[in-house]
């Protein structure tokens, strides 16, 4: 049996009737949304082919259930490229989400902002990205489906719905370009000045490979960043993973309300 078939069998045993429409990936310190889902949680360790997400601040479990009456599948943790050098580490989990019925994927992450009008504690709706790491999760894929069009990778209709949900919640939500920097070290101030000149508004260590994979799989994608710090050289916080984990919950609370409001609108 293939890994994906094994994972699906485990999921079907735990949640025979689950038919999620919306999938989510939760970033560092953003796991609280999974707790709000009424349903079952399956640790990645029990799911064949799932990553053993080793980064603190992530809960490595797939949660299936309902949130605001909508069936969802929440990936509580991700494997980052910087863990094992695998840009396609999230391919199998995303294939599983699609097999279960998801047609939409909401991705969340923590980021460093370049913009004074999107300060720490605020959110940024990603409207485009710069793959500064230069790695594609589709290297080695041999079908013509690998030539993925990323012109509107961050779906305009979904973005409009998320903006409307933010407005309804009274939360500012500005759009911007996310640059993927491989990590795990943070960037230098010179690198941030360069990324800013290239047209980025924020930087982080995830999301981009997942967006590419999700578009490859035909999923509609939306992504929101929680700003945990001003990027290197732009603020006076001491940038660290501890700081990211400690700061993420401020934005996570806002993001949770926006996602819930968006889900209410789907019914």
- Catalytic positions: 28, 58, 80, 82-83, 110, 205-206, 229, 241
Residues 246-265 that bind ligand HPA (CB under 6 A): none
Joined together, the tokens standing for residue 4 give: 């994906």
Q: Using the minimum distance from each CB to ligand HPA, give the nearer residue, 20 or 29.
A: 29
Q: Does 195 bind ligand HPA (CB under 6 A)?
A: no
Considering only 20, 29, 112, 176, the residue that binds ligand HPA (CB under 6 A) is 112
User: Residue 138: what are its φ and ψ, rounded to 5°?
Assistant: -100, 5
User: Residue 263: what are its φ and ψ, rounded to 5°?
Assistant: -65, -40
Q: Using the minimum distance from each CB to ligand HPA, give the nearer residue, 98 or 243.
A: 243
Q: Which stretch binds ligand HPA (CB under 6 A): 29-37, 110-118, 154-162, 211-219?
A: 110-118
Q: Using the minimum distance from each CB to ligand HPA, give the nearer residue, 186 or 216.
A: 186
Q: Does 239 bind ligand HPA (CB under 6 A)?
A: yes
Q: Using the minimum distance from each CB to ligand HPA, give the nearer residue, 205 or 208.
A: 205
Considering only 71, 95, 169, 187, the residue that binds ligand HPA (CB under 6 A) is 187
Quick count: other Cβ atoms within 10 Å of Cβ 234?
A: 17
Could you tell me the smallest distance in angstroms from the CB atom of residue 171 to ligand HPA? 19
Nearest-5° angle of CA 44, CA 256, CA 265?
Answer: 105
Task: Tell the residue number behind the tokens 């509609």, with chain if given.
Answer: 220
Beta strand 202-204 with 104-113 is: antiparallel
Q: Does 122 bind ligand HPA (CB under 6 A)?
A: no
Considering only 67, 205, 208, 259, the residue that binds ligand HPA (CB under 6 A) is 205
Report which DSSP code applies to 231: P
How many residues touch ligand HPA under the rule CB under 6 A: the total is 14
Could you tell me the smallest distance in angstroms from the CB atom of residue 227 to ligand HPA? 8
Which neighbouring-strand residues pair with 128? 177
Buried b (16+ CB within 10 A) or exposed e, 162-181: bbebbeebebebbebbbbbb
Q: Does 81 bind ligand HPA (CB under 6 A)?
A: no
Q: What is the DSSP string of 56-98?
A: TT---EEEEEEETTEEEEEE-----HHHHS-TTTTHHHHHHHH
Could you tell me the smallest distance in angstroms from the CB atom of residue 131 to ligand HPA? 15
Dist CA 219 CA 8 (whole Å):
18
Query: Taking a C-beta distance cutoff of 8 angstroms, is the pair 108, 27 a contact?
Result: yes
Could you tell me the smallest distance in angstroms from the CB atom of residue 206 to ligand HPA? 8
Q: Does 204 bind ligand HPA (CB under 6 A)?
A: yes
Q: Does 177 bind ligand HPA (CB under 6 A)?
A: no
Residue ranges binding ligand HPA (CB under 6 A): 110-112, 181, 186-187, 203-205, 228-229, 231, 239, 244
């Amino acid at each position: 049996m293939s890994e994906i078939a094994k994972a699906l069998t485990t999921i079907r045993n735990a949640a025979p009737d689950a038919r999620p429409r919306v999938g989510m990936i939760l970033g560092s310190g953003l796991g609280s949304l999974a707790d709000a889902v009424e349903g079952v949680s399956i640790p990645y360790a029990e799911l064949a082919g799932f990553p053993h997400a080793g980064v603190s601040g992530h809960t490595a479990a797939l949660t299936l259930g309902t949130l605001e009456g909508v069936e969802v599948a929440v990936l509580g943790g991700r494997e980052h490229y910087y863990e094992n050098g695998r840009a396609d580490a999230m391919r199998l989990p995303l294939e599983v989400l699609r097999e279960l019925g998801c047609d939409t994927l909401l991705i969340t992450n923590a980021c460093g902002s370049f913009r004074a009008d999107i300060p720490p504690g605020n959110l940024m709706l990603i409207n485009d990205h710069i793959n500064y790491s230069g790695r594609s999760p589709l290297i080695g894929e041999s079908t013509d489906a690998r030539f993925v069009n990323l012109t509107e990778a961050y779906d305009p209709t979904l973005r409009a719905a998320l903006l409307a949900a933010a407005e309804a919640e009274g939360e500012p939500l500005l759009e911007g370009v996310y640059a993927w920097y491989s990590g795990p070290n943070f960037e230098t101030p010179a690198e941030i000045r360069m990324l800013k000149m290239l047209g980025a508004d924020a930087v982080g260590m995830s999301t981009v490979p997942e967006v590419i994979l999700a578009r490859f799989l035909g999923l509609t994608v939306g992504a929101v960043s929680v700003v945990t710090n001003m990027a290197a050289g732009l603020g006076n916080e001491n940038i660290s993973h501890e700081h990211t984990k400690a700061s993420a919950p401020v934005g996570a609370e806002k993001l949770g309300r926006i996602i819930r409001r968006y889900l209410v609108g789907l019914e």
